[in-house]
Amino acid sequence: MLNIKNLEAKVDNKHILNGLNLDIKPGEVHAIMGPNGSGKSTLANILSGKNGYEIKGEIKYDGQNLSELSTEERAQKGIFLAFQYPLEIPGVNTNVFLRTSLNSVRKARGEKELDTLNFLKLVKEKSSELGINEKFLSRQLNVGFSGGEKKKNEILQMKILQPKLAILDETDSGLDIDALRIVADGVNSYKNKDNAFLIITHYQRLLDYIKPNFIHVLSKGKIVKTGNAELGVELEKTGYANFI
Amino acid sequence: MKTEDLKNIKDYKYGFTTDVENIRSPKGLSEETIRFISNIKKEPSWMLDWRLKAFNRLKVLKEPDWQKPKYPKINYQDLYYYSAPKSASTKPKNLDEIDPKILETYKKLGIPLDEQKRLNGIAVDAVFDSVSVATTFKDELTKKGIIFCSISEAIQKHSDLVKKYLGSVIPLSDHYFATLNSAVFTDGSFVYIPPNTRCPMELSTYFRINASETGQFERTLIIADKGSYVSYLEGCTAPMRDENQLHAANVELVALDDAEIKYSTVQNWYPGDENGVGGIYNFVTKRGACRGKNSKISWTQVETGSAITWKYPSCILQGDNSVGEFYSIAITNNHQKADTGTKMIHIGKNTKSKIISKGISAGKADNMYRGLVEVKNKASNSRNYTQCDSLLMGNKCGAHTIPYIKNNNSTSTIEHEATTTKINEEQLYYCNQRGLDQEEAVSLIVNGFCKEVLQQLPMEFAVEAQKLVAISLEGSVG
Ligand SMILES: Nc1ncnc2c1ncn2[C@@H]1O[C@H](COP(=O)(O)OP(=O)(O)O)[C@@H](O)[C@H]1O
Ligand SMILES: [Mg+2]
């Protein structure tokens, strides 16, 4: 599904990614761990199409060169990023945002737009699975949401948009135990043989709930170690020092 | 937003001209011109005298120059003050008598005048250059005693009302443009709502400038008698021309005891091209008097067009417990300039005013909120709340807020809040990541920013206005 070859990225002449390789197949869950500033969010942003990076190397998504696709086209083709810091958009009702977003994606896929009634039914179902109060959806997007609420809202969007490749950037940071479990359940219930996850995290506790097929350690813009689920437990004990 | 719509607007879809034969006044500003206008409108002599008085006053007045947007000197001798389709020289009695070309024009503008296709539940007065060409739903309104007609007709048929109220809110000698208008005004709407009557439909006037080298001097007068209610909306468009055209209107509102007037404007005059060539100078005086106790006047404006917009729809809160409101969206793109806001003058006791202003600036445009809140010494327990928000798109545009505050009563309070934000790349990226393209993202964010004001518009127009907001900012990011 995703093939990254020798990816390099610079911002203002500063090297952030230095020859990164990664292959993700349908049905797989990959975790990326690594110290602060190692380039995790940069990787996520490059995959989802944020501007401002000078990029070398090759990224293929379903066989297509990712660089040919605009940010919204990537989203429409099923790449989803749960932001480390979800943006606040004052004045924009959360429900309106979700519906506009879903309908853009549906339109691009050649599906019919959902009318208000059917949309509300869908949103009701998905938000109750995540224990999100409906009232909260009529508030302005992310404005005044607590850290945990913002993260849950990202997962809600994922469940509504039904992406093929979901990238979660530190979605677990700042969540209490209950919220963490809800978010993990949200991921597990969505996971299937056709989609894939790239989960950026600092903590093994999330990986206790969501079993990854691979764990990669990112350091200074490169993957320096790849292992199975065991690697996370080891990292938790010893820290990154042994690998970087 | 459909690309079709966007393409249309890039070329300003209202920019066409209608080829009709015109009757014009002599060129230039003179007593002769004024006599010509008064004569062609078959006005009573008091009206001519009033005009001439204004004209004499004008000779000693100077054009104001304190506004932020500067403009090249207007040569008043180079303008026509009256231009009307020949076919409308005697006002058509029914639609069959209207020049089909003019009917076609309004159809193209989305304002069908023929009764079968008339806008749902909205009575329309259509003003083409200097004359009103049609007013719909007249009979239905007349049954309730409501008068809705052109000001020219009102001067002839409802002389007492016009005499009593014209110039009672905007005095003849108020300031340069208001006085100019008093001397040469050509047409506009007149509304009278009798006591204890709720106007059963939206009243609306559609102003269209068609002829070149012509100024439009609109005059509107709305009177809501005791305990009545009316909602009125005006819309405006003009052809694309590389000359600047002047639109200097006077609008007066009078609300008596317990009456309410809701006045909405969707202004989409031709803004000029991307290089700032052409466009309308929209220099307008709008003022409402809450003359009776418990009366209310609410202004809502969506200003997206014009090369320069310069206006301060105001409320004079004379009656005790009266309420004034001003909701404004002013959008400037490319080289457009706006200097707009309001004046709330608290005179009566327990008077309240609310100001919500949303300024959006893109391209190389400049957007200024200027507002006065004045509490006179007898206006005890009065309240004002002002909120001015500015949204910037890009680095070359400007936003300014100048609130003037005068509080002469210690029991009254004035509150002012202001914010300036920039549409940031991160917000757009977030929207793009959720599948919205750039235009959809901007439209969503901007409409969110102005929601409080858009909600004030009558339903039928809110959707249109929302589209217009998005369209006028097309191409301003990315
Ligand atoms: N737009 C940018 N401009 C300059 N430096 C940046 C920019 N984005 C990221 N960086 C730098 O790149 C490095 C990697 O950042 P990031 O990908 O956010 O790390 P992580 O998510 O692993 O903590 C950091 O040193 C960060 O300061
Ligand atoms: Mg990060």
- Contact assignment for A75 to B448 by CB distance below 8 Å: no
Residue B25 DSSP class: P
Give burial (CB, 10 Å; 0-12/13-18/19+) of B160: exposed
Cα atoms found within 13 Å of the Cα of residue A6, Cβ hemisphere only? 3
Which residue CA neighbors atom 25 of ligand 1 most closely?
A37
Mean pLDDT value across residues B219-230:
97
Nearest-5° Cα angle at A131, A130 to A133: 120
Ligand approaching nearest to the C-alpha of A10: 1
CB contact set of B464 (below 8 Å; sequence gap of 6+): B266
Higher-pLDDT residue of B204 and B95 is B204
Helix (H) or strand (E) holding A99: helix A94-108
Give per-residue pLDDT as tens, B386-441. 999 999 988 888 899 999 999 999 999 999 999 988 888 899 999 999 999 988 89
Q: Please give the distance, rounded to the nearest whole angstrom, from the Cα atom of residue B8 to the centre of ligand 2.
A: 43
Helix (H, G, I), strand (E, B) or coil at B111: coil
Residue B94 has a pLDDT of 66
Helix (H, G, I), strand (E, B) or coil at B238: coil
Residues of B in contact with A87 (CB under 8 A): 426-427, 430
Residue B197 has a pLDDT of 97
Is residue B218 a contact partner of residue B249, using CB atoms and an 8 Å limit? yes
Ligand 1 neighbours by CB, cut-off 6 Å: A 11-12, 14, 16, 34, 36-42, 52
Percent of chain B with pLDDT over 90: 52
- Contact assignment for A90 to B449 by CB distance below 8 Å: yes
Q: Please give the distance, rounded to the nearest whole angstrom, from the Cα atom of residue B188 to the centre of ligand 2.
A: 61
Ligand approaching nearest to the C-alpha of A85: 2
Ligand approaching nearest to the C-alpha of A18: 1
- Contact assignment for B440 to A104 by CB distance below 8 Å: yes
Cα atoms found within 13 Å of the Cα of residue A156, Cβ hemisphere only? 31
Nearest-5° Cα angle at B283, B213 to B340: 145
Least Cα distance to B207 among B103, B308, B130, B102 occurs for B130
- Contact assignment for B434 to A51 by CB distance below 8 Å: no
Nearest-5° Cα angle at B52, B47 to B55: 130
Give per-residue pLDDT as tens, B248-299. 999 999 999 999 999 999 888 888 888 888 888 899 999 999 999 999 999 9
Higher-pLDDT residue of A186 and B135 is A186
Record the tokens describing residue B454, joined without a space. 């858009």
Of B426, B434, B451, the CB nearest to A101: B434
Mean pLDDT value across residues A97-115:
93
Residue B365 has pLDDT above 80, yes or no: yes
Q: In the structure, what pLDDT confidence band is assigned to residue B1 with cuts at 50, 70 and 90? A: very low
- Contact assignment for A48 to B433 by CB distance below 8 Å: yes
Q: Please give the distance, rounded to the nearest whole angstrom, from the Cα atom of residue B429 to the centre of ligand 1.
A: 17
Min Cα distance A207 → chain B (Å) is: 26
Q: Does A61 touch chain B (CB under 8 A)?
A: no
Which residues of chain B are at the A interface, by a Cβ-Cβ cutoff of 8 Å? 421, 425-427, 429-437, 440, 444-445, 447-451
Residue B84 has pLDDT above 90, yes or no: no
Higher-pLDDT residue of A157 and B9 is A157
Helix (H, G, I), strand (E, B) or coil at B284: strand
Of A97, A105, A108, the CB nearest to B444: A97
Please state, as a whole number, how many other Cβ atoms lie within 10 Å of the Cβ of residue B34: 20
Higher-pLDDT residue of A235 and A44 is A44
Residue B5 has pLDDT above 50, yes or no: no
Is residue B236 a contact partner of residue B12, using CB atoms and an 8 Å limit? no
Ligand approaching nearest to the C-alpha of A42: 1
CA distance B291 to B182: 22
Inter-residue long-range contacts of B475-478, CB under 8 Å, 24+ positions, other chains counted: B475/B10, B476/B333, B476/B362, B476/B363, B476/B393, B476/B394, B476/B442, B477/B362, B477/B393, B477/B394, B477/B423, B477/B428, B477/B438, B477/B442, B478/B428, B478/B438
CA distance A90 to A94: 10
Residue B237 has a pLDDT of 72
Residue A214 has a pLDDT of 95
A181-185, B98-102, B329-333: least confident range: B98-102
Record the tokens describing residue A200, joined without a space. 């950026």
Residue B2 has a pLDDT of 37
Residue B8 has a pLDDT of 42
Residue B221 has pLDDT above 90, yes or no: yes
Record the tokens describing residue A158, joined without a space. 């994922």
Class of domain A2-243: alpha beta
CA distance B350 to B297: 15
Residue of B431, B453, B463 best to disrupt the A interface, most CBs of A under 10 A: B431
Q: Please give the distance, rounded to the nearest whole angstrom, from the Cα atom of residue B378 to the centre of ligand 1.
A: 61
Q: For helices A94-108 and A116-129, give the axis angle rounded to 10 degrees.
A: 110
Mutate to test the pocket of ligand 1, among A18, A32, A41 (most ligand atoms within 8 A of CB): A41
Mean pLDDT value across residues B309-313:
93
Helix (H) or strand (E) holding A218: strand A214-219
Give per-residue pLDDT as tens, A6-20. 999 999 999 999 999
Which residue CA neighbors atom 26 of ligand 1 most closely?
A37
Give burial (CB, 10 Å; 0-12/13-18/19+) of A193: exposed
Min Cα distance A89 → chain B (Å) is: 7
Residues of B in contact with A48 (CB under 8 A): 433
Min Cα distance B423 → chain A (Å) is: 10
Mutate to test the pocket of ligand 1, among A7, A8, A10, A11 (most ligand atoms within 8 A of CB): A11
Mean pLDDT value across residues B185-208:
91
Is residue B248 a contact partner of residue B180, using CB atoms and an 8 Å limit? yes
A47-61, B131-145, B320-334, B370-384: least confident range: B131-145
Q: In the structure, what pLDDT confidence band is assigned to residue B9 with cuts at 50, 70 and 90? A: very low
Instruction: Write down the mean pLDDT value for chain A.
Output: 92
Distance linking the first and last C-alpha atoms of chain A: 29
Q: What are the helix and strand counts (H, E) for chain B?
A: 12, 24
Q: In the structure, what pLDDT confidence band is assigned to residue A1 with cuts at 50, 70 and 90? A: very high
Mean pLDDT value across residues A173-177:
87
Instruction: Write down the mean pLDDT value for chain B.
Output: 87
Nearest residue of B to residue A75, measured between CA atoms: B435
Residue B115 has pLDDT above 60, yes or no: no
Residue A40 has pLDDT above 90, yes or no: yes
- Contact assignment for A96 to B444 by CB distance below 8 Å: yes
Please state, as a whole number, how many other Cβ atoms lie within 10 Å of the Cβ of residue B15: 16
Residue B3 has a pLDDT of 38
Residue showing tokens 């004034």: B324
Of A86, A91, A102, the CB nearest to B449: A91
Q: In the structure, what pLDDT confidence band is assigned to residue A46 with cuts at 50, 70 and 90? A: very high
Helix (H, G, I), strand (E, B) or coil at B123: strand
Residue A239 has pLDDT above 90, yes or no: no
Mean pLDDT value across residues B358-376:
93
Least Cα distance to A240 among A215, A210, A213, A214 occurs for A215
Q: Does A221 touch chain B (CB under 8 A)?
A: no
- Report the amino acid identity of residue B325: E
| ipTM for the whole complex | 0.96
